Amino acid sequence: MQLATVIGDVVVTRKDDKLTGVTLLVLQPIAPDGQPVGRTLVAVDSVGAGVGETVFFVRGKEASFPFHPTEVPADAGVVGIVDHWDLG
């Protein structure tokens, strides 16, 4: 799992039928200190996250697991909203 900040959402006019009703979010991966790291990406949202929230996400086939038994065509998925974290 990786941390990210939700920086936007994606609106599409046509998408795969298995993505019907699934929200797509733009994520900026972040380091444990909160600094941006790496490139932005689009992920399916399984938890109702919104712009400005810190989330954790997975990559690969695991991104579709929260939508079982539907296998959504995704390689990144938000699986949790972070309340806070401590590096202490």
Indicate the number of domains in the chain: 1
pLDDT in 10s for each residue of the chain, 88 residues: 899 999 999 999 898 999 999 999 999 999 999 999 999 999 999 999 999 999 999 999 999 999 999 889 999 999 999 999 888 7
Query: Is 85 buried (19+), middle (13-18) or exposed (0-12) by CB count in 10 A?
Result: exposed
Task: For residue 71, give the CATH number of its domain.
Answer: 2.40.50.220
Confidence at residue 26, expressed as pLDDT on a 0 to 100 scale: 98
Confidence at residue 88, expressed as pLDDT on a 0 to 100 scale: 74
Confidence at residue 10, expressed as pLDDT on a 0 to 100 scale: 96
Measured in degrees and rounded to the nearest 5, phi and psi for residue 18 equal -75, -10
Structural domain contains residue 53:
yes
Measured in degrees and rounded to the nearest 5, phi and psi for residue 5 equal -105, 135
User: Which range marks the domain in which residue 42 is found?
Assistant: 2-81
Structural domain contains residue 88:
no
Distances (CA, A) of 54 to 51, 61, 67: 9, 22, 21
